[in-house]
Amino acid sequence: MLEGKNVNLRIVEKEDLELVAEWVNDLGFTGEYEPVSQESETDIEKQYDKLGPEEKWFIIEEKDGSKIGLIIHLLDPGKRMAIGYYLVASERRKGYGTEAVGIMVDYLFLSKNIVRIQAETHPENVASHRVLEKSGFKREGTIRKSFFSRGVWRDTVLFSILREEWKEPKILTKAASQS
């Protein structure tokens, strides 16, 4: 488990997939910019079983163990490490997203020989931009008509953070105490 101040990241186990499926099928969960998608627990389980070594899903938990969101990392085809995250509506705007992203960035730079981490978000999703900027990400550009969602083709904004911008862990400091 990756432990932060207010939230922990816990790797998703098979037992969690029922909840993940429930979240995925809740139009409110992924937020107003994300695709509307309905998938059975069987669909989710198939995806989970196919995850590659560089693709992991984590539950975002509060310290009392209540599950409030998902954060994942994966490699894009260009071998670039990318992350994505969602919180249940009731737990947004409390800094939990920023902390979860901070933990993930620390974890990825500590555990993997990578030079950058990227994330895509929506031009209007100011809250998500702030989360990324607070975590040290920089805006690289806008991918026009990036994907189809809720009836229209939508742009995404590409953000990234480089290892030299990250410098050192902010939250998982204990994990790197020997570096």
Q: Which is nearer to a second copy, 12 or 87 (CB)?
A: 12
Q: Where are the beta strands (DSSP E) in 16-151?
A: 56-62, 67-75, 81-87, 116-121, 138-149
Residue owning tokens 């079983």: 49
Among residues 53, 66, 60, the alpha carbon closest in space to that of 104 is found at 60
Q: Which is nearer to a second copy, 134 or 158 (CB)?
A: 158
Closest distance to a second copy from the beta carbon of 156 (Å): 8
Closest distance to a second copy from the beta carbon of 63 (Å): 17
C-alpha 97/C-alpha 60 separation (Å) is 9
Closest distance to a second copy from the beta carbon of 97 (Å): 19
Closest distance to a second copy from the beta carbon of 142 (Å): 6
Q: Which is nearer to a second copy, 64 or 151 (CB)?
A: 151
Among residues 113, 85, 116, 106, the alpha carbon closest in space to that of 171 is found at 106
Where on the chain is the footprint of a second copy (CB under 8 A)? 1-2, 9-14, 25-27, 32-33, 35-42, 48-49, 56, 58, 76-80, 107, 109-113, 115-116, 118, 120, 124, 138, 140-153, 158, 160, 162, 168-169, 172, 174-179
| Element housing 155 (H / E) | strand 152-162
